[in-house]
């Protein structure tokens, strides 16, 4: 690769753009549409209420794209600006998190407690998780300015942010999207808190699974396993009741159910006494892509898709599965004799595939608008 690039910075640029621009704004837009549907007539009309949200989203997206070149070229390193050196990527990331608080304030203003639904409750819980996750990111920045020198604390704070963002914010929001597909929900035989409280609290406990095993204490290991079990129980309950409500009909939604099953199996495997550590780089990359590309992106892809053709769905799911298999091949748990030649080149090419059906949908949406 060129000397100005390295794999760590590429990974930072990739993951932050995904967090900042692909995962968060689309979910927030759905959250806004849901609370406005349920608060119609409560205040001024939607035309007067949307501009404040729009400016929040425009700012969020602009800062997210702005952070990409700095993460790509410098990562978290300081950049010389005049006579000073500043960690520009980290500073921009801080501004992005401020836009999350901005959105939270606007969302709270529009929220009406008297017309809440299960999907809105899940959205509320996901937003709480997003705010909590940001505290971990702020703590990493603050810790860098202290005199303490602890690899454990720095790594733990980073993985706390990642765990609560993925397992709390992203997963709870996606469950909110899935429950929002039910127009006439039957009463559940259990308290609805079982569908989100274990996930919210479990997401705050599982961060030790992202650390190196040698850094862990027995208490941290028990904490991580407890959080994982809580999340798995709640995900199983959501899976069962969503299936009972008929949400998983059609090829794409059956694929979503399968991704949820794989997620649960992966987490339970981490709890069992197997020679499997989720913090291993290969496994961690595979699991994060299972969540963000497999589960979250598939739900977002279908939620925004307007055409009736199933070909984009089939192409998208197929491409996602190819990416996940390619990541399994480089996870360290794939038989070496079954690896193809030039494996990393194939992994790189596979990574491009999910963009193709998204571009297809994008072009189709523009052409249909012009018509």
Q: What percent of the chain has pLDDT over 90?
A: 57
How much is the pLDDT for 44? 46
> H/E element holding 79?
strand 79-81
Give the distance from CA 100 to its chain's centroid: 14
How much is the pLDDT for 287? 94
pLDDT tens track for 110-132: 886 656 789 999 999 999 999 99
What is the C-alpha to C-alpha distance for residues 55 and 48, in angstroms, rounded to an integer?
13
pLDDT tens track for 48-76: 567 789 999 999 999 999 999 999 998 88
How much is the pLDDT for 25? 95
What is the C-alpha to C-alpha distance for residues 316 and 356, in angstroms, rounded to an integer?
8
Inter-residue contact 315 to 356 (CB < 8 Å): yes
Question: Residue 194 — very low, low, confident or very high, per pLDDT cuts 50/70/90?
Answer: very high
CA distances from 303 to 180, 182, 326, 333 (A): 11, 13, 26, 34
Q: Which residue has the higher pLDDT, 21 or 149?
A: 21
Average pLDDT over residues 339-356: 92
307 pLDDT more than 70 = no
How much is the pLDDT for 99? 96
């Amino acid at each position: 690769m060129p000397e100005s690039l390295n794999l760590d910075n590429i990974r930072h640029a990739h993951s932050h753009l995904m967090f900042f621009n692909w995962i968060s704004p689309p979910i927030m837009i759905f959250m806004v549409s849901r609370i406005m549907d349920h608060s119609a007539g409560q205040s001024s009309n939607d035309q007067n209420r949307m501009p404040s949200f729009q400016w929040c989203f425009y700012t969020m997206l602009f800062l997210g794209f702005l952070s990409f070149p700095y993460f790509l070229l410098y990562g978290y390193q300081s950049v010389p600006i005049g006579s000073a050196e500043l960690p520009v990527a980290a500073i921009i990331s801080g501004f992005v998190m401020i836009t999350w608080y901005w959105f939270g304030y606007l969302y709270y203003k529009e929220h009406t407690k008297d017309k809440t639904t299960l999907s809105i409750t899940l959205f509320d819980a996901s937003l709480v998780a997003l705010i909590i996750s940001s505290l971990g990111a702020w703590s990493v920045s603050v810790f860098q300015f202290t005199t303490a020198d602890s690899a454990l604390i720095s790594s733990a704070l980073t993985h706390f942010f990642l765990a609560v963002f993925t397992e709390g914010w992203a997963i709870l929001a996606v469950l909110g999207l899935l429950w929002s597909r039910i127009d006439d929900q039957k009463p559940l035989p259990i308290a609805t808190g079982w569908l989100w409280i274990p996930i919210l609290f479990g997401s705050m406990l599982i961060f030790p699974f992202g650390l190196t095993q040698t850094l862990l204490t027995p208490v941290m290991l028990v904490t991580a396993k407890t959080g994982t079990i809580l999340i798995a129980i709640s995900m199983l309950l959501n899976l069962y009741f969503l299936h009972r409500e008929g949400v998983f009909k059609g090829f794409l939604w059956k694929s979503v159910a399968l991704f949820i099953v794989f997620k649960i199996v992966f987490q339970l495997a981490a709890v069992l006494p197997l020679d499997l550590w989720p913090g291993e780089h290969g496994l961690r990359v595979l699991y994060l892509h299972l969540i963000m590309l497999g589960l979250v992106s598939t739900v977002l892809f279908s939620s925004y898709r307007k055409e009736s053709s199933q070909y984009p769905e089939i192409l998208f799911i197929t491409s996602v599965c190819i990416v996940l298999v390619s990541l399994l091949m480089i996870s360290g748990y794939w038989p070496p004799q079954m690896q193809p030649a030039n494996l990393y080149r194939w992994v790189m090419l596979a990574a491009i595939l999910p963009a193709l059906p998204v571009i297809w949908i994008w072009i189709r949406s523009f052409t249909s608008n012009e018509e």
